[in-house]
Structure 1
């Protein structure tokens, strides 16, 4: 091996953003009640902008946030099956090169997800995430996107509706098992390049667990273990909720309340300028607002 080749290998291995990650392209919910979930999303400021060409799947959007509602049951053997309670079935990471990112993740120990591609559908590479979820790699997200192939725009609908109070993806909360924080920290560090923030550094109004920052510094994962007093946990590990960032939480709460959104107001959790938590809909669905400084 030449000295140049050795240096190249070291630079790749030590890169602070090994997958060329550039944020989250979409968050996917699986549900058997897509209309009910759609109503909640519209209250939260999202708009349905496109339908999948061959599956019972709808794309909702506001600003730069894309949410996919998947109620398609056929061929669900390797993914989350729709149920009455919506579940976060997948996230898609924006990367510079999807094939290269996928190969690196597999080489580092990720488990590949078999894909079943129909006519006129893209083959989007994915690996297994927490529970039955998937983590996709997407590099078509600018002039020509994955939605241009797989989806049909809804006629007369603005394809890029503005975000309510500047809402954007802040991150996701993941519920994990007891004493599993180190395992999941290593999983996200080794496969994707996440780093753990110092102990005690938190955001919003629910300062629990461990915070991991994406290598692109554009979103976070919050790992939460069961309370020590809880002897048994019925639910498996899973993505629990989405955090939406805004530079003015109180303005966002006011705008969303005007749309019918209710927020938790209790002794321990209530609306503050640093964050807010919506009520829970459909047995499992909630959103957290988190204050973020202006760019």
Structure 2
């Protein structure tokens, strides 16, 4: 039928209980910040600011922010930066950070104790997978968290353009065997994510369950070990970042020119749908997925 559905048949938009509005930043922790910085710069990011009181650098390209955290002072052993970079946190933009945090705690989320230094913002956070954190940020328009906690690097453009239209597409999370439904429920209950049909796939890596954010701006891909994988990694982690680009092959050409190497094998290789960078620094890899640039 070609007629528009009547009000009685109208389908509501997916609920967005926290007013989720995309990703504000993704944080890596590492004891080798300069090495990771070189990898990010090859991917098109530029260092634009330093934290006022911690060993933390802010990198940016286009609308994306990545934080490299090498600060170890006062942290417990389990939270110390490791040699190999790890995704330590995702900061989610929300309508009201305090209200979102209280709602998540009431639904069973685990609070992360705040330990801001003098003159630092208090950014509420929840425990994520492994040792990671999920920050909730409501200062991201005219006045941002970086205006308070960071000092701009002189002579550096604070808004470097995106290479080949790169933008956030999502994050890949490794989950434990049999834990796929647990994590699906976690993200659905606390944040309003919705599982897509099992045959929905993006890019060139087909495994896992894809969850769509309620704001429609990014995805989470949950991957559990193969049942017969003897050497499967038992750890649950935020494993890699996926960038969207309107033209994967053009992005690969430009990034290759900048020194980025891509996986080219019989099983995984560059296609119009996506590409995967070679792993560096003991575990850092990035995925490209064909996806139109968000409207300005």
For the superposition of Structure 1 and Structure 2, which TM-score range results when normalised by the shorter chain?
A: over 0.9
SS in 1 for 2:79: coil
SS in 2 for 1:21: coil
2:79: which partner in 1? 80
Query: How far apart, in 2, do the equivalents of 1:110 and 1:221 lie?
Result: 18
Structure 2: runs of 5+ lacking an equivalent: 1-12
Q: Is the 8 A contact 1:79 1:133 kept in 2?
A: no
Question: Cα–Cα, structure 1 residues 294 and 46, in superposed 2: closer, same or farther, change >3 Å?
Answer: closer
Q: Is the 8 A contact 1:92 1:138 kept in 2?
A: yes
Q: How many angstroms does 1:143 deviate by?
A: 0.7
Deviations 1:75-128 (A, max 9, x none): 323973211110000000001111111111111100000011101100000000
Equivalences for residues 1-295 of structure 1 within 5 A: 16-77=15-76, 80-231=79-230, 233-294=232-293
Query: How far apart, in 1, do the equivalents of 2:64 and 2:22 lie?
Result: 11
Q: Is the 8 A contact 1:22 1:93 kept in 2?
A: yes
SS in 2 for 1:106: helix
Question: Cα–Cα, structure 1 residues 93 and 79, in superposed 2: closer, same or farther, change >3 Å?
Answer: farther
Query: How far apart, in 2, do the equivalents of 1:294 and 1:242 lie?
Result: 16
Runs of 4+ in 1 over 2 A off after TM superposition: 75-80, 231-235
Cα RMSD of the aligned pairs, angstroms, is 1.4
Query: How far apart, in 1, do the equivalents of 2:99 and 2:51 lie?
Result: 27
Query: How far apart, in 2, do the equivalents of 1:247 and 1:292 lie?
Result: 5
Q: Is the 8 A contact 2:29 2:69 kept in 1?
A: yes
Question: Cα–Cα, structure 1 residues 232 and 251, in superposed 2: closer, same or farther, change >3 Å?
Answer: closer
2:10: which partner in 1? none
SS in 1 for 2:22: strand
TM-score when normalising by structure 1: 0.93
Q: How many angstroms does 1:231 deviate by?
A: 3.3
Deviations 1:230-272 (A, max 9, x none): 1353441000000000010011101101100000000010000
Query: How far apart, in 2, do the equivalents of 1:98 and 1:218 lie?
Result: 18
Q: Is the 8 A contact 1:79 1:134 kept in 2?
A: no
Query: How far apart, in 2, do the equivalents of 1:79 and 1:253 lie?
Result: 37
Question: Cα–Cα, structure 1 residues 172 and 15, in superposed 2: closer, same or farther, change >3 Å?
Answer: closer
Structure 1: runs of 5+ lacking an equivalent: 1-13
Q: Is the 8 A contact 2:14 2:214 kept in 1?
A: no
Query: How far apart, in 2, do the equivalents of 1:60 and 1:268 lie?
Result: 32
Query: How far apart, in 2, do the equivalents of 1:255 and 1:233 lie?
Result: 34
